Structure 1
Amino acid sequence: MKKHLMILSLATISALYGADNGVFELGKVDVSATTETSAGATTIIDAQTIENYNAKTIVEALNLIPGTSIQSFGARNEQMIMIRGFDVKHAPLFIDGIPIAVPYDGYVDFSRFTTFDLSEIEVSKGLASPLLGANTFAGAINLVTKKPTKAFEGEVGLGAFSGNGKTGYINLGSNQGSYYVQASASKTQRDTYPLSDDFTVKNATNEEGGDRNNAYAKDDKINLKAGFTPNATDEYALNYIRQNADKGVPPDVAANLAGRGFWQWRYWDKQSLYFLSKTDFGNWYVKSRLFYDKFQNSLAIYTNNGLYNTFAYGGVGNPSWYDEYTKGASVESGVKLSSSNTLKMALHYKI
């Protein structure tokens, strides 16, 4: 059987003084273990590992960890990560400690989140830190963004892959001691993905082979950060992330879709604005997180395969659209009781 070969070529160029993006400490959540030695262990996937495995999305990166599995949902063309059998409602997704969820049902498409602006991914499998907030009894996934460590640093990457896929990104940052700025932008798109030349399915009325029908996807992302570090212990940062995506949903190859099973997401857009801070008072500290997260999408359902130009249901309510937001805050404080004991507490609010 002849198979199509997927080839990915990625070039990375360090600009001027080189790229050495550090970990954004304000975006981390303290844990008590960093190895797979207990049920509550936390695994760290750093930026170098992500680059070594050429993981463009967090799905590809998280697939490297034992105890995690990828679930694909065909009806919405979404990918989800399960941690030891639990989904995102019990092992939620965070960006710099900020909870991320689609408001209407809580499930989020993990394949829409790229890795080019990340310094590391924290994965807790069971017994996640209570400092993250509610609904983490089965674990948590925290995406920690980049922070510059040099006066000027930059990184550029370009790539191509099968299905007429293209990807590119740029990271630029500057750390001037008392303040820093970071800007990241990326774009990934593909027209389709190839099937075997010997592809055959009995009564395959919705797929003729070659390239998979309606399997396109496009993701654009920008990440802007500015921070103020007045001394060695205090830090205040403002972060803005904007994601714009659209995608098709490959139809069931042999099902009778009755003229309504051909879907396209015209847009899948998300914006996040959040403020993080840490103030140290000697034997105790205060950290705060304030966030506003906006999610919009539009789903078009058609009656005809291939053409995608006639709305189903007589066009009534088609395309559908969704426009919602979440906002909230958290305050964390820790008091050092002795050289080996620190008491921490947190208050969370979200609507």
Structure 2
Amino acid sequence: MFALAVGLAAATSAQTAQTEQAATASARLAASPTDEGEIVVTANKREQNLNDVGLSVTAIGSQALADRRITSVQDVAAAVPGLKFAESGAGTPIYTLRGIGFNEESLGVYPSVSVYTDEVPLPFPVLTLRAAFDLERVEVLKGPQGTLFGQNATGGAINYIAAKPTDTLQYGADLSYGRFNAVNGNAFIGAPLGDKAGVRLAVSAADGDGWQRSLTRPDDRNGAQKYISGRLTFTLNPTDALALRATVTAWQDKSEPQAAQLIAVRGQNPASVQAGLLASPFGTTDPRSADWTTTANYVVFKDPTKGDFRIVPKTTASLDPRSNRKFIQGALRADLELGDVATLTSNTSYLDFDQHLFSDKDGSAQAVANIGDGLGNIRSFNQELRIANTGNGPFRWVVGGNYENSKTFEDQALTFANGSSSAPGTLFINTTSSEVQQDIRNYAFFANGEYDLNSKLTLKLGGRYTNSRNSAELCSKGNGDGLVSDLFNIIGGLSGNPFTPIGVNGCYVLNSKGVPGDRIKNTLAEDNISWRAGLDYKLNSDTLFFANVSRGYKAGSFPTLASADFKAYFPVIQESVTSYEAGFKASLADNMIQLNGAAFYYDYNDKQIRGKVVDPIFDVLDVLINVPKSRVLGAEAELIVRPAQGLSVGTSVVYLNSKVRAKDGVPFVGPTAYGNSCTTAGGRPGPCDFTGSELPFTPNWSYTLDADYRSDLGSGVLILGANLRGQSSSVATLNGRSIQFRNLVNDRHAADISQPFVIPAYATVDARIGYEFGDRRYKVMVWGKNVLNKYYVTNAAHYLDATVRFVGQPVTYGITFSIKN
């Protein structure tokens, strides 16, 4: 391929060699109380001191990552002000940064916060689950990053910077044992291969028992962690102007997806809510309490000899939550130094991901909303080619292009044998399957420049043109027992339009004529221009003021869902965020104090969201929708103080105010999680007006407090540390504060919950104590996370008959031993 030819023929440059050396040195540096020294980031795709970058960036270095045991996407989100992580019913992570996010759980859907490892994209959220290991640092760029990091970064970008081979032998390992019999291990070895090459191998693995307890089977556990990850990196510098880096990253994750907590029952078909669900216990404020299905307790089949339906008292195959996810990615970075003028860079990557997933979305032992088997795969090729000038002149520029080709497939089986949708009126159907195939092609051209108008003032301009095409084929079908096809052939016959009856595996979605049988084929073609303009003012060597205006886009996408109406399968169109931001960065008192701040306003158009539709057959179901107009107003401040040798304290505060707005005077209306539950003219139920609603996962206040103390005792170093994380309340869906439980037949809910879709305010505390000895080669650390055992909610949703919560883990604690040369 063109990219590989460029990579192999022109490859990596001396600039990359310098980058590797600087990155190695910066492994101990970060914008964190735990790390000290100059902070190096690559936010502009060239290494810079963080205080010289006119953007809002949070960086966490290797020492802080290790001491605070930041090993997962949840941990990264907890450590970054303004970044939120939410668990979904399909085990797909949901990222929201400064109020910009996409609460979608389909496998092949682009995020609003893009994720990279060494500038190599992980284009879909599920691919990021095991990326956080053997890192030099993590960089989180806030605000639209479309110019340099492409579309799908309307909220920002997360860059994992992996540790690289060095010119001396380095090795290390750590082993942890903690609550729930959790064993975690990490190991790495890096060495030179002669004068011009190097290699590094890193491995991370975990095995532990489940942390959730079944409310109906007290000895049953869920949530076990079982995974292994590895990364192999080779570097080669055959000439002074040429360098290559090849990386292979792979992981397998067999962890058990988290089960939800049931908090309410609201039936799709209230008169047919089954007794098992009505008797199911609700989750409690014990974070370990939950429930999940092991097997459905009956199946239904049609007796061909009698022409009727029979309930058979036997179980189906196992529905226990479990997963088997496999990921492998190969990447080649190639830089060629073009004299003293510029550097040509090629980044080529290809990834392959497969999954089998069983998850429980309803929080009960009944089969009401169970995924299994959820099959999926992703194949993605990505190429970036760019050229950037070298040197430290007044004009710094980069121009380049990107090409992506991704193919995604998801076949999500949904079991609801114990739900109200399995009833006489629907011929006791109990399982459906939703199949989505996407063929996605994107290409883009970009340019970015910075020009020093004088010694203090820098002008910044950048833009990117992106062209996207997503060809999709969607089909929802039965499970092969003939019940679904029988039902929809009857419904199709009622339309009065001729059609060919569907078979047992036929697509049942009703088309515009009200008949089933069509596979939905659609192509979403979009293009856009992302841009940024800004000014940096360097008051002195320690103080920077910046102001930026930028616009970013996120591509549209197709849903993976079950619905009887073809309109539910329409894609959402691309969204855009126009950001106005001003801020400052200041190092004071001989670098003893670091003070950063920013204020911003986001004009949000066509926000993508997973909302609800009132389905003509099954009542309230999921659908993807665009919110025409909304906005986010916010500010954040960060203070790091090092008042004494070995002591550092950091704190941060983020304020967000989000709101859905009317567009051209027209309010945004639609069904809530409980359908058309708002009152319209005449007191009749109807669609709700979302105008004025806050956006999901956007608390007004988020805050952190970190403290780290190190004391040299002569024989070793004593380490003490603690971290506080907290936020005010937020919502998990539009109108989340006004949605109340409905007193319909067979409705019931937890007595202590009045607002099911409000995520209550919470704060958690982590702590650690350790000792480093043997010339700092050995370290032992005792640590705890959520040491006060705080019950807190990360997400809330309604699936078919069940309203549920997903909650954070209880207190965990353990001990870690580590060694390095």
Q: Aligned pair in 2 of structure 1 residues 212, 161: CA closer, same or farther (>3 Å)? A: farther
Q: Aligned pair in 2 of structure 1 residues 345, 249: CA closer, same or farther (>3 Å)? A: same
**Deviation of the 1:350 alpha carbon:** 0.2
**Deviation of the 1:164 alpha carbon:** 1.3
Per-residue CA deviation, residues 207-262 of structure 1 (Å, 9 max, x unaligned), is: 25877732112110110011112355542111000010012234344463794995
Matched, 1:241 2:229: no
What code does the residue aligned with 2:140 have? V
1:63 aligned counterpart, secondary structure: helix
1:60 aligned counterpart, secondary structure: helix
TM-score scaled by length of structure 1 = 0.76
What code does the residue aligned with 1:83 have? L
The aligned residue for residue 328 of structure 2 is: 271
Contact 1:35 1:43 survives alignment (8 Å): no
**Deviation of the 1:33 alpha carbon:** 7.3
- Which of 98, 119, 122 aligns to 1:97? It is 119
What code does the residue aligned with 2:115 have? L
Contact 2:246 2:333 survives alignment (8 Å): yes
- Structure 1 segments, 4+ long, off by >4 Å, are 20-28, 35-38, 208-212, 260-263, 305-308
- Which of 111, 128, 149 aligns to 1:132? It is 149
**Deviation of the 1:27 alpha carbon:** 8.6
Hey, what's the Cα distance between the residues in 2 that align with 1:325 and 1:158?
Answer: 34
The aligned residue for residue 296 of structure 1 is: 354
**Deviation of the 1:117 alpha carbon:** 1.4
The aligned residue for residue 84 of structure 1 is: 98
Contact 1:337 1:343 survives alignment (8 Å): no
Hey, what's the Cα distance between the residues in 1 that align with 2:392 and 2:186?
Answer: 46
- Which of 170, 179, 185 aligns to 2:187? It is 170
Contact 1:153 1:174 survives alignment (8 Å): yes
2:126 aligned counterpart, secondary structure: coil
Hey, what's the Cα distance between the residues in 2 that align with 1:119 and 1:133?
Answer: 24
The aligned residue for residue 59 of structure 1 is: 74
The aligned residue for residue 192 of structure 1 is: 210
Matched, 1:344 2:398: yes
Provide structure 1 residue ranges, at least 5 long, that are not aligned to the other structure.
1-19, 196-205
Per-residue CA deviation, residues 118-163 of structure 1 (Å, 9 max, x unaligned), is: 1111110014372322222321001111112232110111001111
The aligned residue for residue 342 of structure 2 is: 284
Contact 1:228 1:236 survives alignment (8 Å): yes
Q: Aligned pair in 2 of structure 1 residues 123, 322: CA closer, same or farther (>3 Å)? A: same
**Deviation of the 1:116 alpha carbon:** 3.1
Per-residue CA deviation, residues 73-96 of structure 1 (Å, 9 max, x unaligned), is: 2x1244433211223722211111
**Deviation of the 1:64 alpha carbon:** 1.4
| RMSD, matched Cα | 3.8
Hey, what's the Cα distance between the residues in 1 that align with 2:198 and 2:323?
Answer: 36
Hey, what's the Cα distance between the residues in 2 that align with 1:208 and 1:307?
Answer: 7
The structure with the larger Rg is 2
The answer to which of 212-221 and 181-190 deviates more is 212-221
Hey, what's the Cα distance between the residues in 1 that align with 2:256 and 2:350?
Answer: 28
The aligned residue for residue 6 of structure 1 is: none
The aligned residue for residue 50 of structure 2 is: 34
Hey, what's the Cα distance between the residues in 1 that align with 2:41 and 2:67?
Answer: 25
Hey, what's the Cα distance between the residues in 1 that align with 2:365 and 2:176?
Answer: 30
Per-residue CA deviation, residues 298-343 of structure 1 (Å, 9 max, x unaligned), is: 02469xx9999x9x99xxx963422330002010111359811122
Hey, what's the Cα distance between the residues in 1 that align with 2:250 and 2:377?
Answer: 15
Identity %: 15
What code does the residue aligned with 2:228 have? D
The aligned residue for residue 221 of structure 1 is: 229
Q: Aligned pair in 2 of structure 1 residues 226, 211: CA closer, same or farther (>3 Å)? A: farther
Contact 1:238 1:275 survives alignment (8 Å): yes
Provide structure 2 residue ranges, at least 5 long, that are not aligned to the other structure.
1-22, 28-39, 102-109, 266-276, 278-292, 297-315, 406-821
Contact 1:148 1:181 survives alignment (8 Å): yes
Hey, what's the Cα distance between the residues in 2 that align with 1:342 and 1:221?
Answer: 38
The aligned residue for residue 599 of structure 2 is: none
Hey, what's the Cα distance between the residues in 2 that align with 1:183 and 1:37?
Answer: 32
The answer to which structure, 1 or 2, has the higher relative contact order (CA under 8 A, 6+ apart) is 1
Hey, what's the Cα distance between the residues in 2 that align with 1:35 and 1:221?
Answer: 34
Matched, 1:43 2:58: yes
What code does the residue aligned with 2:99 have? G
Aligned positions, number: 310
Q: Aligned pair in 2 of structure 1 residues 77, 89: CA closer, same or farther (>3 Å)? A: closer
Per-residue CA deviation, residues 176-223 of structure 1 (Å, 9 max, x unaligned), is: 44111010111112211267xxxxxxxxxx525877732112110110
Hey, what's the Cα distance between the residues in 2 that align with 1:226 and 1:148?
Answer: 7
Q: Aligned pair in 2 of structure 1 residues 266, 137: CA closer, same or farther (>3 Å)? A: closer
Hey, what's the Cα distance between the residues in 2 that align with 1:286 and 1:132?
Answer: 17
What code does the residue aligned with 2:333 have? L
Per-residue CA deviation, residues 157-178 of structure 1 (Å, 9 max, x unaligned), is: 1001111111001100013441
Contact 1:119 1:144 survives alignment (8 Å): yes
Q: Aligned pair in 2 of structure 1 residues 249, 266: CA closer, same or farther (>3 Å)? A: closer
Contact 1:265 1:297 survives alignment (8 Å): no
The aligned residue for residue 141 of structure 1 is: 158
1:229 aligned counterpart, secondary structure: strand
1:163 aligned counterpart, secondary structure: helix
TM-score scaled by length of structure 2 = 0.34
2:210 aligned counterpart, secondary structure: coil
